[in-house]
Amino acid sequence: MCWIFWYRGKNDAVKILLHGLERLEYRGYDSAWVFVKKQSWDKSRIRAVGKVSALNWKVTDFLDAWYTQWIAHTRRATHGGVTEQNTHPHISNDGNRTIVHNGIVENYASIKKDLIKKWYRFDSETDTEVVANLLEEIHKDSKSMLETTQELQKQIRWAYALLIMHEGTPDTMIALRLWSPLVYAYNSEGEQYFSSDTQALSGYADKMIYLEDGDLIKVQWNDYTILSNGDVTKRDIETFDQKILEASKGEYKHFMLKEIYEQPAIIKRIYKWRVSFENNSLHADAFHGMGNESIKQITTVACGTANNAGWLWTYRFETLSKIPSHNEIASEYENKPFFLDESKLHIFVSQSGETADSLEVLKMLKEQGGKSFGVVNVVGSSIARMTDSGLYLRAGTEIWVASTKAFMAQSMCLLLVSLFLGKRRGMRLSKYQQIMRELEHLPSYIETVLDQTDHIRSIAMDLMQYKNFFFLWRGYQYPIAAESSLKFKEITYLHSEAYGAGELKHGSLALISEEMPTIFNLPNDEMFEQNLSNFQEIRARKGKICVIGDKRVEEADRQITIPETIDEIYPFLTAVAGQLLAYHVADLLGNDIDKPRNLAKSVTVK
């Protein structure tokens, strides 16, 4: 996917655009460009493959010039290779339409074939250039740019955020949104912006409007009109809260480390907002939409790290709320029957609220009348707005591509949901009070793990020489081992696999050797003894083992000690240990931790 940032105003546009692109940089891309325009005859497209910094030196000639329109864009290749030719914007054959696009036009190939028959030529391999020439073709029969664009909406399929400039109407910018996020923003100085992400607008815009799926917005210098299915419509104008969006690394070497260390404070914040201290109960209003007694089955739906969080809490929905629950990976679930009925609730877990795979399922579910609840971080994001009700994570802006603090916040919110439901379904009061007591201690428990960062780094020094790893689990520790393994892969680029301790002897034990270390989530829970026998299996085959657990395991090669607690709380602690371990191995390997290769922060394409 790509990220769009458009500015129009009288300040130094280049600096604003490049700063905006740098703020989007953590989202992953492989080429960038800015498009500048003074008058229709005086416009330039400056494009660079690689990091935004590669663009910096190319725009020096434009730094002092005053231009009316500037668009910046980072591209992550979907159609066509990583070449300057394929970077945006793309211009129609007649030179009159300039298009910038985030998303995928699913039916571009058939459109391109028809346009080639009509003698259109193409300089790139992109679907975006097809849109530019399709606009030119449609315009031949339409009276205005607006009508042309409305006809375009009927002809192109699926995900896009499009910015369209036309030479005939230089003061007008038209934008379309279907699935890929797009925000229109402005400030009291009359400066105007479009951005794929609110993060880039921080410090510039005062007001912003989240465009909805199917919206067409026509922006002129001091006015805008939004059309939805051809009818003029209004969208909420949100005021910017700069402090939430202001994200900086502070004294940390990486955003990842900053966000890992934010976790105790985030747990405290969520606890404060969702739990009333008087009687240690949960704010019922926080769980609006959850009080429904008819919920008799829960399915969590998500991707990646968010999927591991959703998966983890299906265990607690069953043990605490006595509701049969299971987890679905969104990209798989869209091809399966939903078996909907009145008693089934789907919980969508997402940091960005824009993940295309999750959105696809949510859209299908809503079309079939299914009930949905969102556990989402980004305020006003698509999943947050499309679910029937939900909880915001309140984790603050998560910069780091591979999620840490959002995972912790998702886990905290989902545990509170399971407690909220459990209290209404006969959970023993003593159990409820025990968990609430441990939740109060959770921030300090996490700090105890964080305080071992130097010790964990020494373990990382041992591990960094290896190429393959097992992350071993049993029971409810499975999603945590999966999450630790995912973190490991995302930033160390070393291969790891989460594997069931009890399953190892049925084949994969063959991999155990001195060359394949195991990280074993081994808390002192009711499965401890079973786990110890698996531990011995590995030791007997000279496998090296790093234990993550509260009870000392004398024969472990290394151990990360976590505080003793209860089963519902152990996952938070083994997760933090796994985050730090992955961080230190990646840092010792010299990897670009905040911009891991091939990854994007929000995967807004399927």
Residue closer to ligand AGP, measured from CB, 323 or 383:
383
Q: Identify the DSSP state of 167.
A: T
How far apart CA 283 and CA 576 sit, in angstroms, is 27
Pairing of strands 344-350, 371-376: parallel
- Asked if 403 interacts with ligand AGP (CB under 6 A), we say yes
Q: Which of 2, 303, 413, 546 is catalytic?
A: 2
Q: In whole angstroms, how close is the CB of 356 to ligand AGP at the nearest point? A: 9
CA 28 – CA 591 distance, rounded (Å): 15
Q: Which stretch binds ligand AGP (CB under 6 A): 272-280, 339-347, 396-404, 549-557?
A: 396-404
Q: Are 190 and 207 in contact (CB under 8 A)?
A: no
d(CA 256, CA 236): 33
Asked if 195 touches ligand AGP (CB under 6 A), the answer is no
Rounded to whole angstroms, how far apart are CA atoms 201 and 215?
20
Furthest CA-CA distance within the chain: 80
Nearer to ligand AGP (CB atom), residue 70 or residue 311: 311
Give the residue from 581, 519, 522 showing the smallest Cα distance to 551. Answer: 522
Residue 351 within binding range of ligand AGP, rule CB under 6 A: yes
The token duo for 157 is 């399929």
Nearest to 374 by CA among 341, 412, 414, 335: 414
601 is annotated as an active-site residue: yes
Query: Least distance in Å: CB of 494 to ligand AGP?
Result: 16
- The reply to whether 352 sits near ligand AGP by the rule CB under 6 A is yes
Q: Specify the residue for token string 């921030």.
A: 443
Q: Is 413 a catalytic residue?
A: no
Of residues 285 through 304, those in contact with ligand AGP by CB under 6 A are: 303-304
Task: Give the interface size with ligand AGP as a residue count (CB under 6 A).
Answer: 16
**Can residue 404 be called a binding residue for ligand AGP (CB under 6 A)?**
no
Q: Is 65 in the site for ligand AGP (CB under 6 A)?
A: no
Query: What interhelical angle do 570-588 and 453-463 show, nearest 10?
Result: 60
Separation in Å, CA 178 to CA 228, 354, 463: 11, 12, 45
Q: Which is nearer to ligand AGP, 314 or 350 (CB)?
A: 350
Tell me, what DSSP letter sits at residue 490? Answer: H
- Cα–Cα distances in angstroms (integers) from residue 158 to residues 62, 77, 462, in the given order: 36, 17, 48
Of 408, 603, 604, 605, the one binding ligand AGP by CB under 6 A: 603
Q: Please name the residues in contact with 163: beta carbons below 8 A apart, sequence gap of 6 or more.
A: 4, 6, 71, 99, 100, 101, 173, 174, 175, 194
- Closest residue (Cβ) to ligand AGP? 304
Q: Least separation, in Å, of the C-beta of 54 and ligand AGP?
A: 24
Residue 379 found at the interface with ligand AGP (CB under 6 A): no
Distances (CA, A) of 352 to 75, 129, 291, 322, 541: 19, 28, 26, 30, 43
Of 393 and 504, nearer to ligand AGP (C-beta) is 393
> Judged by CB, which is closer to ligand AGP: 111, or 603?
603
Q: Determine, following the binding rule CB under 6 A, whether residue 401 of this chain makes contact with ligand AGP.
A: yes
Q: Cβ of residue 127: shortest distance to ligand AGP, in angstroms?
A: 22
Give least dist CB 129 to ligand AGP, A. Answer: 28
Per CB under 6 A, 381 contacts ligand AGP: no
| Active-site position among 218, 487, 595, 601 | 601
Q: Measured from the CB atom, is 314 or 351 closer to ligand AGP? A: 351
- The answer to the question of residue 306 lying near ligand AGP (CB under 6 A) is yes
**Count of Cβ atoms closer than 10 Å to residue 53 Cβ:** 12
CB 476 within 8 A of CB 569: no
Contact 337, 385 (CB under 8 A): no
Per CB under 6 A, 358 contacts ligand AGP: yes
Between 451 and 490, how does the x/- string for binding to ligand AGP read (CB under 6 A)?
---------------------------------------x
Q: Taking contact as CB under 6 A, which single stretch among the options 60-68, 365-373, 429-437, 597-605 is the one that binds ligand AGP? A: 597-605
**Which residues in 311-350 contact ligand AGP (CB under 6 A)?**
350
Report in angstroms how near the CB of residue 525 gets to ligand AGP at its nearest.
Answer: 26
Q: Is 402 in the site for ligand AGP (CB under 6 A)?
A: yes
> Applying CB under 6 A, which residues contact ligand AGP?
303-306, 350-352, 355, 358, 401-403, 490, 599, 602-603
Question: Which residues are known catalytic residues?
Answer: 2, 601
